[in-house]
Amino acid sequence: MPATTAAAEKLLLQMVDDYTTREISPEDMPMDAAGDFPAGFMQKLTDTGFLGIMLPQEFGGAGFGPEVTAAALNHIARGNASTAVTLEGHFKTIDQILKFGTPALQKQLLPSANDRIFAFSMTEASGGSNPMGISSTATREGDHWVITGDKIMITNGGLAQVYCVLVKTAPKELSVFVVDQDMPGFSFGKREDFIGLRGTPVGEIVMDHIVVDNDHLLGKLGDGGIIGDSAHDDARILMGAVLTGIMEHELKIATDYAKERKAGDKPLTELQVTHRKVADIAMRKETTKLLYQRAAQLKAAGQPYSEEAAMAKAHGSRAAVSAGDDTLQILAGYGYSREYPVEHLIRDARAMEIAEGTVEKMRSAIATAEFNK
Ligand SMILES: Cc1cc2nc3c(=O)[nH]c(=O)nc-3n(C[C@H](O)[C@H](O)[C@H](O)COP(=O)(O)OP(=O)(O)OC[C@H]3O[C@@H](n4cnc5c(N)ncnc54)[C@H](O)[C@@H]3O)c2cc1C
């Protein structure tokens, strides 16, 4: 049974649209220039209830399912992809605590997810594509675990207060624990100066002998690989939605400009070269939308969705970069200028060929799924 009604879903998306137009879109260009969100921005988003969109109602959230949650991020990304990605990082982490956390941990942590941001931390300096190469460890001492290590390039790193962390519990055993910013031994390190999604904080967390009890383990010892894959799957659906939002933004810029701009005495809309570009942008946008919506439908129905989620992000990330390039070419000199958002939309989309698993890793996952059929 869905936790929400069709009327509530419609109302949510209308609220998200209105709020995005009023409060989030106007900050898109300033955030890109500043490399940060403005003071008070995140608090307002929290006060408006955005952090609890997919959190079940028993924990005080709104309880919307995967399809509506993805649609909400899609609507936000039409105006500001960075803000949508901050929420994506939060939602995928909540999802793993819902799937793998003990009832006691869920009860302790999840009500706070309405006003505290969560993050999922796997990558270390040794590389993100090879989880077995990590050095962070959790060592059992009596009835507690002691966690030590350093995670880099974490979405919401420095902003979030709760972190799922992938660690080794034996030389060849990966496990995931949950740590809190308030725990002794927790600190923040370097914040990345990335070229895109510049309104999303991405940074380092340092864990120096953090002591947690066994309830802070997600799943069982050795489930780290499964939980990491699950986090990627959930994130990739949401990234497909964000990428669709970026392409909707690009398409609007391209069509608005083509209607206004003249080449000689003809508007750009009458040139076949413009038709080709606009049609390609629209097709890339629609195919990505169908892929992420299909993955979200499968997830909502309790079916496997890993391959479809990988397709949504692998296809959508290159599609949004290419659509941005076509948009830039339609605007030509203005497209190349920082006065227009086109160049930053390309930089934003480019991040998603790397984050949540590189496109190379996703293609391997998709091909393996096909070989196994
Ligand atoms: C915007 C952004 C947000 C991020 N957020 C998070 C986050 O929230 N949490 C987190 O843990 N990490 C996060 N990351 C880190 C991200 O997951 C890693 O950058 C990514 O997994 C790749 O790791 P790497 O950069 O170390 O590259 P490497 O793993 O060193 O890879 C280098 C190159 O080799 C290729 N390669 C490596 N191994 C293989 C293989 N087996 N098959 C095919 N190709 C391979 C890669 O595709 C890549 O082209 C984020 C990164 C970005 C850019």
Out of 83, 87, 123, mutate this one to test ligand 1's pocket (max ligand atoms within 8 Å of CB): namely 123
Q: Residue 147 C-alpha to ligand 1 middle, in angstroms?
A: 23
Counting residues of the chain whose pLDDT is more than 70, the rounded percentage is 99
Cβ-count burial 30-43 (b if 16+ within 10 Å, e if not): ebbeeebbeeebbe
* 195 vs 65: CA distance, rounded Å: 32
Please check the confidence at residue 283 and state whether its pLDDT lies above 60: yes
Closest-CA residue to 87 (of 300, 310, 245, 238): 238
Q: Which two tokens stand for residue 75?
A: 């609507």
Q: Residue 359 C-alpha to ligand 1 middle, in angstroms?
A: 9
Q: Identify whether the C-beta of residue 37 lies closer than 8 Å to the C-beta of residue 83.
A: yes
Q: What is the pLDDT of residue 78?
A: 98
Q: Which two tokens stand for residue 352?
A: 């998603």
CATH fold, domain 118-223, is Butyryl-CoA Dehydrogenase, subunit A; domain 2 (2.40.110)
Q: Name residue 162's beta-bridge partners.
A: 118, 180
Q: What is the pLDDT of residue 211?
A: 98
The string of DSSP letters for 147-202 reads EEEEEEEEETTTT-SEEEEEEEEETTEEEEEEEETTSTTEEEEEEP--SS-TTS-E
**In terms of C-beta density within 10 A (0-12 exposed, 13-18 middle, 19 or more buried), how is residue 173 classed?**
middle
* 321 vs 250: CA distance, rounded Å: 10
Interface pTM (ipTM) of the complex? 0.98
* Phi, psi angle pair for 157, to nearest 5°: -60, 125
Q: Identify whether the C-beta of residue 241 lies closer than 8 Å to the C-beta of residue 70.
A: yes
* 140 vs 137: CA distance, rounded Å: 10
Q: What is the dihedral of CA 130, 135, 139, 145, to 10 degrees?
A: -80
Residue nearest to atom 11 of ligand 1 (CA): 122
Q: Name residue 262's beta-bridge partners.
A: 267
In which band, very low, low, confident or very high, does the pLDDT at 33 lie, cut at 50, 70 and 90?
very high
Residue nearest to atom 37 of ligand 1 (CA): 129
In which band, very low, low, confident or very high, does the pLDDT at 4 lie, cut at 50, 70 and 90?
confident
What average pLDDT does this structure show over 7-21? 97
Q: Which two tokens stand for residue 115?
A: 């006003």
- Residue 265's SS3 state is coil
Q: Can you give the length of the chain in residues? A: 373
Q: What is the pLDDT of residue 1?
A: 41
Quickly list H helices, 177-305.
Answer: 224-260, 272-300
The CATH code that applies to domain 6-114 is 1.10.540.10
Q: Write out pLDDT tens, residues 121-146.
A: 999 999 899 999 999 999 999 999 99
Catalytic: 356? yes
Cβ-count burial 275-284 (b if 16+ within 10 Å, e if not): eebbeebbeb
Q: Residue 318 C-alpha to ligand 1 middle, in angstroms?
A: 16
Q: Residue 350 C-alpha to ligand 1 middle, in angstroms?
A: 13
User: CA-CA distances (angstroms) from residue 91 to 130, 209, 238, 311, 349?
Assistant: 24, 27, 9, 20, 19
Please check the confidence at residue 2 and state whether its pLDDT lies above 60: no
Q: What is the pLDDT of residue 3?
A: 64
* 355 vs 155: CA distance, rounded Å: 9
* 220 vs 101: CA distance, rounded Å: 10
Q: Write down the domain spans for the chain.
A: 6-114, 118-223, 225-371
Q: Residue 305 C-alpha to ligand 1 middle, in angstroms?
A: 21
Residues 6+ apart with CB under 8 A from 119: 89, 90, 93, 154, 155, 156, 157, 159, 160, 162, 163, 164
Out of 354, 363, 368, mutate this one to test ligand 1's pocket (max ligand atoms within 8 Å of CB): namely 354
Q: Which of 339, 353, 356, 360 is catalytic?
A: 356
Pairing of β 217-218 and β 173-180 = antiparallel
- Residue 207's SS3 state is strand
| Residue ranges around ligand 1 (CB below 6 Å) | 89, 119-123, 127-129, 153-155, 194, 197, 202, 351, 354-355, 357-358, 360-361, 364
* 246 vs 274: CA distance, rounded Å: 19
CA end-to-end span of the chain: 31
Q: Write out pLDDT tens, residues 102-114.
A: 999 999 999 999 9
Residues 6+ apart with CB under 8 A from 20: 75, 76, 78, 79, 80
Q: Write out pLDDT tens, residues 334-358.
A: 999 999 999 999 999 999 999 999 9
Using only C-alpha atoms, what is the Rg of the chain?
21
Homologous superfamily (CATH) of 225-371 is Butyryl-CoA Dehydrogenase, subunit A, domain 3 (1.20.140.10)
